[in-house]
Amino acid sequence: MCLAVLALHALPGIPVLIAANRDEFHRRPTLPAVQWADAASVYAGRDGQAGGTWMGVTAQGRYALVTNFREPGRHLDDAPSRGALVEDFLRGAMAPADYLADVHRVDQAYNGFNLIVGDIRQAWYLSNRDGGPRALAPGVYALSNHLLDTPWPKLARTKAAFTAVLRGRPQPDLPALYAALADRNPADDADLPATGLPLDRERLLSSPFIVSPDYGTRSSSIMALHDGGAGELHERRFAPDGAVSGESRLTFSWRASDGGDILPKAPETTG
């Protein structure tokens, strides 16, 4: 995952709404978003190379996502997979704060990352390039390949578009959210971040939606948890030229692990 915007307890009737793009090399094998056969409560895509996932949600109302922290020249070849950080939270039952406290103890073993984990009541953020975990208050957040809400042009533009969509009804407005994620316009050179990449690469990566033959936006995802126990995860996948190559539309029921006051409907998966 390389770009995500989140509305956490900021939208009536939808305590969690996330829209995100996953950017990756096109040669890296990837499995579409599905209900996992070996963990039936998990709904997510899957990395076909290292395992794990970049974003997912569960039937207990748990969710997580990870982005890489861009820092050319600082790379551990033997580091564990960052996708496992998401998978382990989704498969587990630890509270978000406790889980990130455990991760923080060993986070320097990983290459740079940003990790958000949450459940229906709370959300926590950790970067291993920015101190310890912190709780996220209700609001709208955006995350790319630097720290949370770092105002890179692509992040600021997508967060503004996402916030504008939230003013409409009904939600989630899938066409409008997908449109917000589909912006292919690069930033002006004067506004590009200086992360140590060559200028042409900084330009390429500065658009919210990236298109190139070797690396680009592989998928856009929209996840929502509704009051009353309904959940949905939508994924739109793309070919190297940016054309749509497939879609998943998953609906499910969620119930907090402590029971809460949720009365879920019968599970349903489509797409």
DSSP-derived letter for residue 109 is G
Q: Which of 41, 48, 53 is nearest to 91 (CA)?
A: 41
What CA–CA distance (Å, rounded) separates 42 from 260?
19
Domains and CATH numbers, the chain: 3-270 (3.60.60.10)
164 to 159, 161, 168: CA distances (angstroms): 9, 5, 8
* Tokens linked to 102: 């455990």
Contact criterion met (CB below 8 Å) for 158 and 180: yes
* Tokens linked to 181: 């994620």
pTM value is 0.93
β pairing state of 215-225 and 14-25: antiparallel
What CA–CA distance (Å, rounded) separates 144 from 217?
13
* Tokens linked to 36: 């996992």
- pLDDT tens digits for the chain (271 residues)? 799 999 999 999 999 999 999 999 999 999 999 999 999 999 999 999 999 999 999 999 999 999 999 999 898 999 999 999 999 999 999 999 999 999 999 999 999 999 999 999 999 999 999 999 999 999 999 999 999 999 999 999 999 999 999 999 899 999 999 999 999 999 999 999 999 999 999 999 999 999 999 999 999 999 999 999 999 999 999 999 999 999 999 999 999 977 553 433 333 333 3
